[in-house]
Amino acid sequence: MTVKTQDSESIVVALTSDTQVQEVQGIMKMRKKELGVTALIPGLPVQVKGMMNDQHQLVADTVKFKGSDLKAAQDIQAGLAPTQQQVQANQAEIQANKAAVQANHQEIEANQQKIAANQAMIAAANKRFGELGEYNILGEVTVYFANGKVNVDPKYNAQLLDLAAKAQTITAYIVQVQGYASAVGSAALNQKLSMERADNVLAFLEQDGKIPLTNILAPGAMGTSEQVAPNATTEGQAENRRVVVRILQNKGIAGT
């Protein structure tokens, strides 16, 4: 063990199987209680007698201390233990918080990358659809969706089937499918909703309407662009949650 002298000098004390550890009691310190070395706890004032060895260690013959000093050191240790446990718990919590913050940063960065990709996709889609000014619109159906929903309501089946049947009577027709979302929630979520809505309408046109994929433009996920009503009301939000399906024909083919 390491003992600090009254002069603040640190001395290494070697404890052997022959070392006597004694608690002295009484005014004259005549009563002694033999204890084990485990009684030597931090903060306990001790009196050590022994000889120095070649390693500059004091090999203890006896280590004595007062019973009152032992009780005081034990009380201190009993008070320190919960504090040390709390420190360890706090350190563990700090590490967990750091890990959570790092995970949040990574999630934010991933979301920003998704948003950037979505914006690029929207820009490309807008460019593609902007070129459709060379086409005549020969039929149109708008499918509306509940908040957060992407499945096509069966009440639109008849309208979509009628549109599909009409399309197949037109020479060199193209079907355009554009999905939209209301401006409620994150941009990434709205982009995803608009894509899934458009995909589901396209799947119905292909499977039930028998429209060949060669006659369908890649579905456009327009996100929250081209809002047709204010999002301040539930009614306006409902109008913005939509998929617009159009039958197009090139003006050159139509002769107009």
Give per-residue pLDDT as tens, 230-240. 888 899 899 99
- In whole numbers, what is the pLDDT of the chain averaged over residues? 83
Span 177-198, pLDDT tens digits:
999 998 888 888 888 999 999 9
CA angle 83, 79, 69 (to 5 degrees): 140
CATH number of 128-254: 3.30.1330.60
Can you tell me the distance from the alpha carbon of 168 to that of 174, in angstroms, rounded to the nearest whole number?
A: 10
Checking DSSP bridges between strand 20-25 and strand 58-66, what pairing results, if any? parallel
DSSP reduced 3-state for 52: strand
Residue carrying the six token digits 């709205």: 190
- Quote the percentage of the chain above a pLDDT of 70: 84
Percent helix, strand and coil across the chain, each to the nearest 5: 45, 25, 30
Question: Of 44, 162, 27, which Cα lies nearest the Cα of 35?
Answer: 44
As given in the structure block, the two tokens for residue 151 are 């499945």
Confidence check: pLDDT of 150 > 90? yes
pTM: 0.49
State how far the Cα of 175 lies from the Cα of 165, in Å rounded to an integer.
Answer: 12
pLDDT band for position 67 (cuts 50, 70, 90):
confident
115 has pLDDT over 70: no
Q: Which DSSP letter does residue 156 get?
A: G
So what's the pLDDT on residue 211? 93
Q: What is the pLDDT of residue 8?
A: 79
CA-CA distance, 250 to 256, in Å (whole number)?
9
Domain boundaries, the chain: 2-74, 128-254
Q: Which amino acid is at 211?
A: I
Coil, helix or strand at residue 41: coil
Q: What are phi and psi of 72, to 5 degrees?
A: -65, -40
Letter for the amino acid at 90? N
In the predicted structure, residue 32 carries a pLDDT above the cut 90 = no
Which residues on adjacent β-strands are paired with residue 58? 13, 52
50 with 83: CB under 8 angstroms?
A: no
Residues facing residue 144 across a β-bridge: 242
Residue 79: is its pLDDT beyond 70?
no
pLDDT tens track for 84-105: 666 677 778 888 888 877 877 7
Instruction: Please answer whether residues 237 and 184 qualify as being in contact, where contact means their C-beta atoms are separated by less than 8 angstroms.
Output: yes
pLDDT value at 227 more than 60: yes
Helix (H) or strand (E) holding 220: strand 220-221
| Contact indicator for 219, 190 with CB cutoff of 8 Å | no
pLDDT level of residue 130 (50, 70, 90 thresholds):
very low
The CB-side HSE value for 226 (13 A sphere, CA atoms) comes to 19
